[in-house]
Structure 1
Amino acid sequence: MPPFSPSLRRLAALTTSSRGFHAREVLAKHASSSSSASSPVPVIPTCPAPTCPCSATPPNLDIDQKTPLNGTIAAYQKHILVGSGQTDWLSKIENEKHGSDWGHLVAELKRAVGRRGEFHDSVFLFPAFQHLFLDQQSPREQARNLAEYALGDTNRPHPRIRTQPITKPTILVCSHGGRDKRCGIIGLLLVHEFRRQLRSIYAHAATTVPEDETNAFDHQSINVGGVSHVGGHKWAGNVILYIPPGYEIAADSDQGQDRAVPTAAATTASRLRRNKVTSPLAGTGIWYGRVEPRHVQGMIEQTLLGGKVIEDLFRGGIDRQGHPLRL
């Protein structure tokens, strides 16, 4: 899958669940009472302190620092993302229908898969890890086809939808200031910090390893996008990492030796020379809360490149089959 174009790095999200859709980003979540928790995943208790300078967290943000985060996401099985080309949205994204095709699609999609029942190629489906291309139809017809496909067996082709696999990690940050200013403030800082850290990692790696080994760590190949409300703004910043099936990490994921290396870029570059294994988090979506810029380096190192969940930031997760991940 190619990286998000600039317009697609700003996504609206919709979630379908037993309580209906959440607004802004287009996450599609559909709850199932028969879902069972999948097996445990590797964890570390806390996020390591950064070894490089990072943006400061703004003071006086009213963030809930006391409530345990584990299990604070709504149960869901599918997550739909729709590119909006915007950096912020109305409080309820379906109200964008009066001024945009994507808002009309979201409104129709909510109508199609919620409790009651001309668009671009910017629809993404997780944890199927698919980029969806919808036939040119009315938003209502597109929404009907999308709901039919997303809530069915995504391994079966749909006559009106073409698919392309998503093979690179996708990092989603709630930056929905129109819904809650905490997400708008810290979300934009986190998007910037993720992109800055990934650029730094890639720039160093490109000078220390063969060219054909740098592709997986090219920041242009790791999608980072601001999204609409995903729930839990009192725990801002909220971050979701979707790690594609088959994603490989260094065989030696022990951080002890790596953390002694003075820069994050050098740490990551050293990993590029090691043997690779499939990440234990491949095919999953990992939700984090109370994320600050100081956590970004550790999240990249530990979760993206190390295959470990950071326990004290973990809100919940989902595996490839749509089952919840629990610690």
Structure 2
Amino acid sequence: MTKMASLLRGLSYRFNTPTPSTDFKKAKNEDALFPKTDPAVDGEDCLHDCESCSIKYPRKFEIDQDDKLYGNIGGWNTHLIVATGKTDWVRDVADEKGSVMEAVSKAEEPTNGKMMLSASNMPIPLSSHSDPDGQVRTTVLLLPAFKFIDNVTPAAVPDLIQHCVNNAPTNTSPLVDPASDNSLTSTPLPAGLDMRDCPHNYLILLCSHATRDARCGQSAPLLKKELERQLRPLGLARDFDDERPGGVGIYFINHVGGHKYSANVLVYRRRLSPDGKPLSEAAQCIWLARIKPSDCENLVRYTVLQGKVVKPGEQLRGGFDRSTQLTNSAPEKGAHPETLISLKMYTTNAP
């Protein structure tokens, strides 16, 4: 079997049929959360880094190689990614005056659990315009729902949280038949807000926040270049303006904690139906660290396309799998606002 055929074979990977239970559990260790590659099943290539990769980090790019990674992140329930058109931001994105990030940090917290907030390099739509108060409209991506919401202004953030985030599936919502899941799409939206599907099957989020740590500003563009080199022959590379269904979207985001383990990479994966078509929501998020350009070939082949982890002991920080109902942290019982950490703490105070 050729390497191309081997990669495409990964597209046939299917998640387990989800059980109706809502009892998510904490995976006991890094080998229990996601499947690990096995050379007997995946071939000898899973044991080796990319030999054709010529991209390398700068000579003085040093990271912590000793700490145990697994479980050193907290759980989260939803993830809001804000289009800013930038690849770097002020130290705390909530301090960016007049931004959606600032408005989110000051708004009431979601009723369905902790929300991770990220600024991203997704461009502000060219058709965007300022409203009468001078507030620029932008787009946000809501995960694990895989939904874009357009025309979001700082003033619209309370409505965004109330009508979109609070009604959205979470990382610990059981997977359901998409035909019967209309909780979000059937929710009437306030005037001005528009919702649409994210066209991609997979998302790769790379921390590029150089203001917080220069290593992230160095690693993100290098990883993106190598990831695109691996994705292009498979027909899976997607630019910002590429609305073809499927493929892999690669976005830069701000600080996620753990810069000393650069590069941090989050992979969101939609569940596939038996006929290979993507279902509406993310079933997995696989959060990795210590990723190098030479890891990208196997990252695409096994993690993005198959939901497997190549080096869990060295690189897995955590994540969730809604198909097996496992997370890296104990799920909260009842997402009452008083039990939630603040958005500002969650998005900026990690080392």
Alignment of 1:182-197 (within 5 A): 182-197=215-230
Distance 1:182 1:278 in 2: 34
* Root-mean-square deviation over aligned CA pairs: 3.3
State the partner residue of 1:57.
57
SS at match of 2:189: coil
State the partner residue of 2:333.
none
State the partner residue of 1:211.
none
User: Residue 152 in 1 paired to residue 178 in 2?
Assistant: no
State the partner residue of 1:6.
none
C-alpha change, 1:120 and 1:309, in structure 2 (3 Å) is farther
Distance 2:273 2:258 in 1: 28
- Report the Cα offset of residue 309 of structure 1: 2.0
User: Residue 80 in 1 paired to residue 80 in 2?
Assistant: yes
Distance 1:299 1:127 in 2: 20
C-alpha change, 1:163 and 1:307, in structure 2 (3 Å) is same
- Report the Cα offset of residue 290 of structure 1: 0.4
| Letter in structure 1 aligned against 2:292 | E
- Report the Cα offset of residue 74 of structure 1: 2.1
State the partner residue of 1:294.
294
Q: Is residue 283–residue 321 contact of structure 2 (8 Å, CA) maintained in 1?
A: yes
- 2:146 aligned to 129, 132, 135, which one? 129
State the partner residue of 2:309.
309
SS at match of 2:104: helix
SS at match of 2:89: coil
State the partner residue of 2:348.
none
C-alpha change, 1:276 and 1:246, in structure 2 (3 Å) is closer
TM-score for the superposition, normalised by structure 1: 0.65
State the partner residue of 2:67.
67
SS at match of 1:244: strand
| Letter in structure 1 aligned against 2:49 | A
Q: How many residues align?
A: 244
State the partner residue of 1:139.
154
- Report the Cα offset of residue 236 of structure 1: 0.4
TM-score for the superposition, normalised by structure 2: 0.61
| Letter in structure 2 aligned against 1:130 | K
| Letter in structure 1 aligned against 2:37 | I
Alignment of 1:108-119 (within 5 A): 108-113=103-108, 118-119=135-136
Which whole-Å deviations, capped at 9, do the CAs of 1:161-197 have from their partners, x for residues lacking one? 4322334211110010011111111122112221222
Q: Is residue 288–residue 316 contact of structure 2 (8 Å, CA) maintained in 1?
A: yes
Distance 2:106 2:327 in 1: 29
Alignment of 1:85-234 (within 5 A): 85-97=85-97, 104-113=99-108, 118-134=135-151, 139-140=154-155, 142-154=156-168, 155-156=183-184, 157-160=187-190, 161-168=193-200, 169-202=202-235, 221-234=247-260
C-alpha change, 1:68 and 1:149, in structure 2 (3 Å) is farther
SS at match of 1:159: coil
Distance 2:236 2:141 in 1: 28
Which whole-Å deviations, capped at 9, do the CAs of 1:21-52 have from their partners, x for residues lacking one? xxxxxxxxxxxxx9633784311277631142
- Report the Cα offset of residue 77 of structure 1: 0.6
C-alpha change, 1:326 and 1:44, in structure 2 (3 Å) is farther
Structure 2: unaligned runs, 5 residues or longer: 1-22, 39-45, 111-134, 169-182, 238-243, 330-351
C-alpha change, 1:86 and 1:285, in structure 2 (3 Å) is same
State the partner residue of 2:272.
246
- Report the Cα offset of residue 299 of structure 1: 0.2
Distance 1:187 1:322 in 2: 30
Q: Is residue 219–residue 262 contact of structure 2 (8 Å, CA) maintained in 1?
A: yes
Structure 1: unaligned runs, 5 residues or longer: 1-33, 205-214, 249-274
Which whole-Å deviations, capped at 9, do the CAs of 1:98-143 have from their partners, x for residues lacking one? xxx5xx211010111459xx343521011121112246xx513x11
Q: Is residue 246–residue 283 contact of structure 1 (8 Å, CA) maintained in 2?
A: no
State the partner residue of 1:36.
25
